[in-house]
Amino acid sequence: MTRKSLLAALIASAFAATGAQAQTEIQWWHSMGGALGDKVNQLASKFNASQSAYKIVPSYKGSYPESMTAAIAAYRAGNAPHIVQVFEVGTATMMSAKGAIVPVYKLMKDADEPFNPKAYLGPVSGYYTDSKGNMLSFPFNSSTAIFYWNKDAFKKAGLDPDKPPRTWKEFVADAEKLHASGQKCAYTTTWPSWVHIENFSAWHNVPIGTKENGMGGLDTEFKFNTPLHVRHIAMLGDLAKRGMFVYAGRTNQGGAKFTSGECAMMTESTGGQANVRRGAKFDWAVTQIPYWDDVKGAPQNAIIGGASLWVMGGKTNNAYKGVAKFFAFLSRPEIQYEWHRDTGYVPITYAAYDLAKKDGFYQRNPGAEVAVKMLTNKPPTPNSKGLRFGNFVQGRGIIEEELEAVFTGKKDAKTALDEAVKRGNEVLRKFQAANK
């Protein structure tokens, strides 16, 4: 009797297992930790509840470079996930891997799902589109760099707390006043290359590299050692030497220095606002990044950071249908708006932006609109639609190394930028040779 019931239970569970397998599982590797990870899980379960044929299984795979490395290694071993979230720096590497990835425009067309690149903000779609105007990956979380300032510190230094610096010249004057008022660290930054080379170039409508910042071909060369770049980096080096600019690291470590009140001004991603809101015990606000007002056409528009979703090759057609359905789900304006509202990333479609405006979100949170305004300030030019440099993980590492040499006073700005361009170009040539 017991044996019989045990057998029955076994058979039943076996059937249950096959029943579950009829639902196609779709693996999604991402890098959204903490609160962002919860939001990702929420999106997945919302989609899973909306239909029964597919099941999205999100898994957190560590930092951006870690999940990209994991996906590449998994592909080499023959068990890649269906979807992987790759940061903007890895875009060129993914794009060149023809065969390893399925372009999103093709995925959506094959599955007969609606997909219109024009629905996305210019700097968002531009970043992930090939030279023929086809979108290769699915934009997911986009941010841009903005300027934070501590109003209380401004007041204490005798500055107008509602008048943040609009130009870099005003910025230096404000930094000096803040420093003189006893605010030792006037300014700090996060993501030095992204803010002070990549976004800086787009904001002033000058190229980071030739061939439309690498979008026009693999034979691109870096160009960020112009007198304008040298002047800007030399200004930062000078402030560092005088103790007004305190550098805190290559990722978002600077955020803690602003939040604690140690530094009065900061350049950081829009995504950093959640942490400042939680930790800052002073009055603060955000605005657009300063610019050099003698540069013609500045400010142009900002470029994005963040990540997009790539679809890996070698899976079944049925699974790809599920992925396309999931992307169609993610494209819905209300989902886009919800993501924007809850995470602090920018709304990446015009529809989501309109929805946020209609909902009065920006009246309640004026800071949330700064990033969208910076991205859509002017229609993007070849210098400001984004960048696509091969092996830019290494390339950005080189830029950051050289910038740090300036911040620590080891090299002058000209030497460091020349060296960064020279070393960066070697990385580009190597990538070109490996992908020809």
Partner 1 sequence: MEKRVVFRSAWLPYVLVAPQIAITVIFFFWPAAQAVYYSFLLQDAFGLKSQFVWFQNFVDLLRDTNYLSSFRTTAVFSFLVAASGIAISLLLATMANAVVRGALVYKTLLIWPYAVAPAIAGILWAFLFAPSIGIVTYYLKWIGLDWNWMMHSPQAMLLVVVASTWKQISYNFLFFLAGLQSIPKSLIEAAAIDGAGPFRRFWTIVFPLLSPTTFFLLVINIVYAFFDTFGVIDATTQGGPGNATEILVYKVYYDGVKAADLGGSSAQSVILMFIVISLTVVQFRFVERKVQY
Using CB under 8 A as the binding rule, the residues of this chain from 406 to 435 that contact partner 1 are: 407-408, 410, 423, 426, 430, 433-435
Measured from the CB atom, the residue of 259 and 383 that comes closer to partner 1 is 259
H/E stretch holding 309 reads strand 305-312
Q: What are phi and psi of 314, to 5 degrees?
A: 80, 20
Measured from the CB atom, the residue of 190 and 288 that comes closer to partner 1 is 190
Is-contact 153 160, C-beta < 8 A? no
Is-contact 133 125, C-beta < 8 A? no
- Among 119-127, 142-150, 381-389, 391-399, the segment contacting partner 1 (CB under 8 A): 391-399
Measured from the CB atom, the residue of 380 and 424 that comes closer to partner 1 is 424
Exactly one of 303, 402, 413, 424 binds partner 1 (CB under 8 A); which one?
402
Exactly one of 248, 289, 303, 311 binds partner 1 (CB under 8 A); which one?
248
Task: Name the residue type at position 126.
Answer: G
Exactly one of 250, 315, 321, 385 binds partner 1 (CB under 8 A); which one?
250
Measured from the CB atom, the residue of 288 and 391 that comes closer to partner 1 is 391
Measured from the CB atom, the residue of 198 and 369 that comes closer to partner 1 is 198
Measured from the CB atom, the residue of 93 and 383 that comes closer to partner 1 is 93
- Among 148-156, 223-231, 241-249, 368-376, the segment contacting partner 1 (CB under 8 A): 241-249
Peptide bond into 299 cis (omega under 30): yes
Exactly one of 98, 118, 296, 364 binds partner 1 (CB under 8 A); which one?
98
335 binds partner 1 (CB under 8 A): no
Is-contact 28 140, C-beta < 8 A? no
DSSP track, 211-277 = HHHTTT-TT--B---SHHHHHHHHHHHHHHHTTSB----SSSTHHHHHHTTSEEEEEEEGGGHHHHH
Pairing of strands 263-269, 145-150: antiparallel
The residue with tokens 């980096």 is 233
Binding mask 18-57 for partner 1 (x = CB under 8 A): ----------------------------------------
CB of 170 to partner 1, least distance (A): 25
CB of 383 to partner 1, least distance (A): 26
Using CB under 8 A as the binding rule, the residues of this chain from 57 to 96 that contact partner 1 are: 65, 69, 72, 75-76, 93, 96
Residues 6+ apart with CB under 8 A from 218: 96, 390, 428, 431, 432, 435, 436
In angstroms, the CA 126 to CA 214 distance is 12
H/E stretch holding 105 reads helix 104-110
By CB under 8 A, the count of residues binding partner 1 is: 41
DSSP-derived 3-state class of residue 57: strand
Measured from the CB atom, the residue of 164 and 255 that comes closer to partner 1 is 255
Residues 180-212 as b/e (b if ≥16 CB within 10 A, e otherwise) read: ebebebbbbbbbbbbbbbbbbbbbbbbbbbeeb
CB of 403 to partner 1, least distance (A): 9
Measured from the CB atom, the residue of 136 and 371 that comes closer to partner 1 is 136
Using CB under 8 A as the binding rule, the residues of this chain from 153 to 182 that contact partner 1 are: none
In angstroms, the CA 375 to CA 346 distance is 9
Tokens of 386: 């984004």
Task: Name the residue type at position 365.
Answer: N
Exactly one of 57, 100, 285, 295 binds partner 1 (CB under 8 A); which one?
100
Q: What are phi and psi of 33, to 5 degrees?
A: -90, 170
Tokens of 189: 């930054």
Measured from the CB atom, the residue of 263 and 375 that comes closer to partner 1 is 263
Measured from the CB atom, the residue of 283 and 426 that comes closer to partner 1 is 426
CB of 60 to partner 1, least distance (A): 18
Residues of this chain that bind partner 1 (CB under 8 A): 65, 69, 72, 75-76, 93, 96-100, 240, 246-250, 253-254, 256-257, 260, 262, 391, 393-394, 397, 400-402, 404-405, 407-408, 410, 423, 426, 430, 433-435
